[in-house]
A and B are shown apart, each in its own frame.
Chain A
Amino acid sequence: MNTVNITIDEKPIKAEKGSTIMEAALANGIKIPHLCYQKGLSIAGACRVCLVKIKGRPGMTASCTTEVAEGMEVTSTDEELNEMRRLIVELILSEHEHNCLVCENNGQCDLQDLAYELGIDKIRFPVNKSVEPIEDSSEVILRDPNRCILCGRCVRACAELTVQKVLDFAARGSKTYIIAGLDQPLVQTDCVSCGACVQACPTGALTEKLARFQGRSWEFRKVQTTCPYCGVGCQLKLNIKDDKIVKVYGVEDGPDNKGHLCVKGRFGFDYVHHEDRLISPLIKRNGKFEKASWDEALNLIVTKFKELKNKYGSDALAGLSSAKCTNEENYLFQKLIRACFGTNNVDHCARLCHASTVAGLARAFGSGAMTNSIREFEKADVILITGSNTTETHPVIGDYLKHLATYNGTELIVVDPRAIELIEYAKIWLRQKSGTDVAWINGLMNVIISEGLYDKEFVENRTENFDKFKKVVSKYTPEKVEEITGISKEKLVAAARMYGKADKGSIIFAMGITQHTTGTDNVLSLANLAMLCGNVGREGTGVNPLRGQNNVQGACDMGALPNVYPGYQSVSDEQAKEKFEKAWGAKLSPKVGLTVVEIMDAASKGKIKGLYIMGENPMLSDPNLNHVREGLRNLDFLVVQDIFLTQTAELADVVLPGVSFAEKDGTFTNTGRRIQLLHKAIPNIGDSRDDWKIITEISERMGYPMVYRSPAEVMDEIASLTPIYGGVHFDRLEGQGLQWPCPSREHPGTPYLHKDKFTRGKGLFTPVDYIPPAELPDEEYPFLLSTGRILYHFHTGSLSRRSKPLDSIAPEGFLEINPQDAEKLKVKDNDWLRVSSRRGKVEVKAKITDRVDKGVVFMTFHFAESAANLLTNDALDPVAKIPEYKVSAVKIEASDYIDS
């Protein structure tokens, strides 16, 4: 670090060169008053309470705008400075009447603190008593202009963190005020309810609507933990009163979110206290659930599973683990299935989202995870984003990408069949026909090779199989690619040049790439592209799959997969098997187990008899739901462990109440391979039990005791058996967590993979040819249906639909349809439609938008009332066994369905 020496109040300080006096002071624990300054935002220099004196300079200087210089001597406080500050604060206090008694932020207000610290006991100016109305149109935010001090922090937070630019100053002089949109109620603007402005506001001008009158800052217990929704793994601070979560802040030094959160993380926590929470075990008798004691429920489970195992063998049992549960729970779950049930039939919903990533990247590089860290995107020159609607599915990363494109000069290339929000920030948008990814990626590489833009040295030294690969790619000329994908050859060439010429190019992808019958091929193609340009093994480069669920990375790492033990050690590797047999003291099956979709299939054929599902809801998440229901119904015995009676739990014989993230200790591993802590914040609700304890109870009763005192002890065992987690222990995780691989206690963790050497040695080029999707539109089913998510909901909605703010912002599903198609079908916005495929039909409202192209329609899978997965195709990728959610053929008719 380049430093300069300064003194503040005679204390010698080493300050970072280029930093401001304010930053240097705060970093050294010296508090200079400030109202408009906020770490992480640009500097406004508006409030002037941060004035300091600098020796040798006349007068007073704003410390937030002044850079440090060698030898600078700063006085942060003296009577003259304080008198000036008092004057300023009194002026602010005279602009509106600040009645702290009736302010929600009483006790956590920078203005209130400052007035007190400065010893202000009266206001020397006449106070403006006029009162402006409060604006309360938003579901989550209250705006009270009477408490606004025009510091502009909300304006900058919205423009710079969320990059939504909803807020700004209007008018000028004494009439200045803060507007939303065209001076509209917030709900009518582009506001995405992220609450960054609320967190930024130093006063009570912006507050959390639902937290109103629920508690004062001094009454809250504050607990840091990890967001339960998506794979970004934002760090949260829960504010708890009487064991109830009242509000949530983003943790400023959270390694990947840096204080920012999206609407789900900040406002979507109330499901934890929802009245639907399961509070005791349930046993189904004569088709009806009855409350049962834990002993009763556990004994029944154990008797049944033992019986089935004895009668039909170990492979008639199976388990679905959970990407929502912790690493420790996933580890124990797969251990139970493998060591106690005696089968490798364990899988989880990663199969449905990124199985092809794991398969593809493991093959090409040797490791199936994000190669680089989230916060490295700012080091990239060009970022290619494909099949990821990042601003809705990983909002905090999405906002960060918008920030980089807007303020950092990072060039974005977006390749997506839908006109997603990120295209507005992209230099180039390629709109491919759904399911033609291999073709356009090959096309890019064709251009890069023929124009000599590839990294010859990297290809030569670090990779293999280039020649065979090159031969296949040579067929994909821009002309041919245009024919297949619909992307014009000019645009393809421009994109190839942009990515090919970048010093650091990064690739981001998600389920638009993976959820195809050619998912593994798509991933392999992206790996080819990165290697071709030498974009692996350096900071700011790489191939970066964004994992969907909070702990889907961890569930995979923990071996909740039918073919690998924890740490991706293959079940068919004799040595690995021996190692785990020894550690677990049990005989293990050498046979690769069944995947999610195969388990459902086997169940409907009567081959799987008993199933244990923890925290998953295949009755909404899996493709071809009618088939899934058939499978689950056909089971002899189904156990579901969850916090709500999900669509899947309804079919169970026994339901066990687990706990939510807020009741848990443990770890989640985020999409950036970062292992982060959860801290138990509230007591278990009702008679629910920690999920890890439920697993060990079952295991013990089945005659295979697993004894641990805490999740930390489970992690110690994981570390001893899983080289990539070798140095991971709870005592090291406070604060920033650790990124795997972390092989030993001393190891600091790994921000990016494949430096100098790929995990598998050399990077492997795989020649891949384009194959069309399994089912394309035809005369009978003329539309191509694609599925995905929206900002306000998560997965099957079992959590987010039970959050009042989230479900009131987005209460129902919809079908996106292009205006031209809508006109042909004589459909208007909000008309009810019947959508049917070869597998099922649903009723859903129309949303007419040119986000989707002609001939294409889009639905989310969050809503049980209009379950998209009744329609989707369960055709599988042959390697990864991931279903083709992104392409199926449907027909659309008007419906006489009436709103209930």
Chain B
Amino acid sequence: MKLRDKEKDVIALLSEAQRESKHNYITEEKLKLIAQEAGLSYSEVYGVATFYSLFSLKPRGEYIIRVCDSGPCHLMGSRSIFEVLEEELKIKVGETTPDGKFTLEETSCLGICDEAPAMMINEKVYGNLTPQEIKKILKRLREKKW
């Protein structure tokens, strides 16, 4: 198998591993297993896993909030979205709330520039955000049972 094909394979395996984990990350044990399964070395798998910002090697919250910081969203005020989120969650970008519920990250374009500013929570995309809207979403998620 060509290296490129192996890499495609490995991406699928990495996503699956991350999805299965409650804390949205890939454990070292998993990385090793994936390397064996894909016939790649540890460093190759680590390289792929850290190349894509979608993957995390550190435990993350149950909900990963990714706020778009590309051009259009930036113009439409994504900075203030960050501010609201940081204040509400009491964490900075890249951190996880102590209760393990939320992780805040930034991301590049989510593909709904006409609804900027936008963010994504796990697999769901939210557009036309306002501070009120955000607080509502967070409230809903907080009340949801594990």
Contact = CB atoms under 8 A, between A and B. Distances in A.
A179 B46 contact: yes
A170 to B, nearest CB: 4
B28 A168 contact: no
Nearest to A171: B50
A189 B32 CA distance: 12
Given A182-B28, A182-B31, A167 B43 contact: yes
Secondary structure of the B contact surface, majority rule: helix
A169 interface: yes
B80 interface: no
A169 B47 contact: yes
Which size bracket describes the interface of B in this complex? 10 to 19
B105 to A, nearest CB: 14
Contact of B51 (A164, A171, A181, A182): A171
A165 B51 contact: no
A190 interface: yes
Interface string A362-390: 00000000000000000000000000000
A183 B46 contact: yes
Given A165-B41, A166-B41, A168-B41, A179 B47 contact: yes
A179 B44 CA distance: 9
A165 B44 contact: yes
Contact of A170 (B28, B32, B46): B46
A182 B45 CA distance: 8
B33 to A, nearest CB: 12
Contacts, number: 45
Contact of A165 (B28, B32, B43): B43
A180 B51 contact: no
Contacts of A166: 41-43
Nearest to B49: A170
A209 B20 CA distance: 43
A172 interface: yes
B43 A179 contact: yes
B146 to A, nearest CB: 30
Nearest to A165: B41
B42 A170 contact: no
Contacts of B28: 182
Given A171-B51, A172-B51, A182 B44 contact: no
A168 B47 contact: yes
Contacts of A179: 43, 46-47
Contacts of B42: 166, 181-182, 189-190
A165 B28 CA distance: 18
A171 B47 CA distance: 7
A170 B47 contact: yes
Interface string A144-179: 000000000000000100001111111110000001
A166 B41 CA distance: 7
A160 to B, nearest CB: 12
A555 B37 CA distance: 47
Contact of B50 (A164, A170, A181): A170
Nearest to B47: A168
A182 B41 CA distance: 9
Nearest to A181: B42
A197 to B, nearest CB: 12
B31 A168 contact: no
Interface of A: 159, 164-172, 179-183, 189-190
Interface of B: 28, 31-32, 40-47, 50-51
Question: 8 closest Cβ contacts across the A-B interface?
Answer: A165-B41, A168-B43, A168-B47, A170-B50, A181-B42, A171-B50, A182-B42, A182-B46
15 contacts: A165-B41, A166-B41, A168-B43, A168-B46, A169-B51, A170-B46, A170-B47, A171-B51, A182-B31, A182-B32, A182-B42, A182-B43, A189-B42, A189-B43, A190-B42
Given A165-B44, A168-B41, 10 more contacts: A159-B41, A164-B41, A166-B43, A168-B47, A170-B46, A170-B51, A181-B42, A181-B43, A182-B42, A182-B43
